[in-house]
Amino acid sequence: MGNDERETLREKIGQIIASGGSPPEGRSIMIPTRMSEAEFSQHLGLVGRVNSREFEGAPAGTLEILPPARWEGGQVSLGFRFRPVSAKNRLHGRSPAIDFEALFEGRVFPTDEKVLDEIKGGRRHQSIVAVPGGVSLEPGDSVIFLESKFDPFGVPYYSRSGDTISVALTKAHDDRYLWGNYRLYSIEWDREEVRRQASREKLISKK
């Protein structure tokens, strides 16, 4: 997703807010775009997540990712549901929350279940990630780790039942190594903060 999709989403959120907010069941937002098979798979793996903080006028916990729809000719419709603003939504209800800034800026990285468990448990606080061309990482940026499985050639594929977490970077170093159309970065984050975040989300999901 890029600036065009983000601008369309911003406009539609603004229209909903200007009209007095969404009805109790929420209001859907559909955005036509084009994306690769890998991008489609990644977006599918994020279905059900909500924004962890305010994003383009949508308060935290009120913007939910819906399953994308695929049409002929490579056309795709991205789906979002704008939920009513409420205390429950601000606490994210039972939906996993992610940083939508990281999502729209291409800072989403696949990882397997074991590594994701180590990150959420505070047993791992650093990684090397392959960053797409045109994307850079700096301390203070958030990235999303998304649980995935890998085929024999190392290509990730995602499941809607997979886990995920957003982490804020404390260090980000460009290793100046090109890997195809990607550049490798060494990154670190605060393990204790991520462990606390994962514990809070686990408690919320049980309510």
Q: Check pLDDT > 60 for residue 91.
A: no
The verdict on 94 and 118 lying in the same domain is no
The verdict on 167 and 186 lying in the same domain is yes
The verdict on 97 and 110 lying in the same domain is no
Q: Mind listing the pLDDT tens digit for each residue in 7-66?
A: 999 999 999 888 876 666 678 999 999 888 888 888 888 998 999 999 999 999 899 999
The verdict on 151 and 66 lying in the same domain is no
**What pLDDT is attached to residue 85?**
64
- Domain, as residue range, for 83: 3-101
When pLDDT is averaged across residues 138-151 and rounded to a whole number, the result is: 92
What's the angle, vertex CA 122, arms to CA 120 and CA 127, rounded to 5? 80
**What pLDDT is attached to residue 92?**
44
Domain boundary among 101, 128, 154: 101
What is the DSSP track for 20-68? T---TT-EEEEEEEE--HHHHHHHHTTTT-EESS-BTTBPTT-EEEEEE
Contacts of 180 (CB under 8 A, 6+ apart): none
| Structural domains in the chain (count) | 2
Handedness of CA 153, 46, 189, 113 (dihedral sign): negative
Q: What share of the chain has pLDDT > 90, as a percent?
A: 50
Q: What share of the chain has pLDDT > 70, as a percent?
A: 88
Domain boundary among 101, 131, 156: 101
**What pLDDT is attached to residue 93?**
45
More confident site: 169 or 96? 169
